[in-house]
Structure 1
Amino acid sequence: MATLLYSATASLDGFIAGPGGDMSWLTPHLAGPNPTAERLLSRVGALLAGATTFGGDDPNRGTEQEGAFGGQYHGPVVVLTHRPADTAPADVTFTGDLHQAVALASEAAGDGVVNVLGADVARQCLQARLLDEVLLFFAPVLLGDGVRVLDVPGGMQVLLDRVPGETEHWYRVRY
């Protein structure tokens, strides 16, 4: 059974993208090896992303590192959207239903990890009690505005337990 994990790199003030979805702030913070990201990548069997994330800005746009995990991920992608593209690139499936998106990505991942990309899809997964884990990386920068790690109007308390043996920012969701 696949593990549904939301991972993101955030500024110290909790933003995963700048205003307008700008990701250029992240580029200087991606240099060098990241053993936790490499370990996660080795487990990822599918990506589940929202349309904004799938079609949005890439801090490595125009370079050999463009794409998920610095261009290292090559595999199934499920995009949750109400406006699917007329034609899907190879290994990309579009669907407008959250439960179907999770089922398709989980089937593709097998016993691996479905890496949830995008704050809105992560919020929907949390609200539907489908998300298993959260992994946050932090960059030493303050953005002041943009897309928050989690944004739920009216608030939503999500209790997390550290995953034993993992980095201090890798958690299991407690329902």
Structure 2
Amino acid sequence: MAKVLYSVTLSVDGFITGPGGDMRWMRPYLGPNPEVDELVPRIGAILVGRRTHDGDDPYKGEPNEGEAFGGGFSGPEYVVTHRPPADARPGVTYVDDFAKALAAAKDAAGDKYVNVMGASIAKQCIEAGELDEVLVLYAPVMLGDGTRLFEHPGGRTVRLERRSVTETPLATSLWFDVV
């Protein structure tokens, strides 16, 4: 059965994008990462929100712009949106209901991960009790503003249990189980 994983690169001050959804800040930290290289083949499907799917791309101007993990992932992507585009990319399914999109992604993933992209979709997974793991790649940078990893007005405690810590020259990865 598929597990749901939120994997994300994060600034030290807690942002996954810069102001206005800018992800160019991430480029210096996208170099080789053995943990990510080992993870990508274990991903069976992507679950992503429309804003993240269509948003700024850290690989902008590169040959694999617009592709998950810079082209490292090839498989089904499920985009949660109420505004599906007229011209969908092959392998991308637009779904107007979060629960249906998650179920389809889990079915497609089989015994691999459903990799969640985007703070809003991750939050919906948490609220539905469907998030199993979190992999945070801390980049040594502070952004000061942008989209937070997890934001819940009034607060919400989500207990995590550390699974592993991995250091690379470009980032420090912390992998957690959601308790």
Deviation at residue 166 of structure 1 after TM alignment: 6.3
Q: Is residue 12–residue 138 contact of structure 2 (8 Å, CA) maintained in 1?
A: yes
2:78 counterpart residue number: 78
Runs of 5+ consecutive residues of structure 1 not aligned to the other structure: none
Aligned CA distance change for structure 1 residues 133 and 81 (closer, same or farther; 3 Å): same
Runs of 5+ consecutive residues of structure 2 not aligned to the other structure: 167-172
Q: What is the letter of the counterpart of residue 170 of structure 1?
A: W
1:170 counterpart residue number: 175
- Asked if 1:156 corresponds to 2:161, the answer is no
Q: What is the letter of the counterpart of residue 9 of structure 1?
A: T
Structure 1 runs of 4+ aligned residues shifted over 6 Å read none
2:145 counterpart residue number: 145
- Asked if 1:46 corresponds to 2:51, the answer is no
2:100 counterpart residue number: 100
Per-residue CA deviation, residues 19-56 of structure 1 (Å, 9 max, x unaligned), is 1000011111112x201101110100100000011000
Q: Is residue 10–residue 136 contact of structure 2 (8 Å, CA) maintained in 1?
A: yes
- Asked if 1:129 corresponds to 2:129, the answer is yes
Deviation at residue 81 of structure 1 after TM alignment: 0.9
How many residue pairs get aligned? The number is 172
Q: What is the letter of the counterpart of residue 173 of structure 1?
A: V
Q: Is residue 3–residue 111 contact of structure 2 (8 Å, CA) maintained in 1?
A: yes
CA distance in 2, matches of 1:173, 1:82: 29
CA distance in 1, matches of 2:68, 2:121: 16
2:12 counterpart residue number: 12
CA distance in 2, matches of 1:15, 1:76: 27
Q: What is the letter of the counterpart of residue 61 of structure 1?
A: K
Matches within 5 A, 1:14-33: 14-31=14-31, 33=32
Deviation at residue 73 of structure 1 after TM alignment: 1.1
CA distance in 1, matches of 2:28, 2:62: 14
Deviation at residue 68 of structure 1 after TM alignment: 1.4
Per-residue CA deviation, residues 64-108 of structure 1 (Å, 9 max, x unaligned), is 242211221111000011111123211111112111011110111
Q: What is the letter of the counterpart of residue 60 of structure 1?
A: Y
Identical columns (%): 52
TM-score by length of 2: 0.92
TM-score by length of 1: 0.94
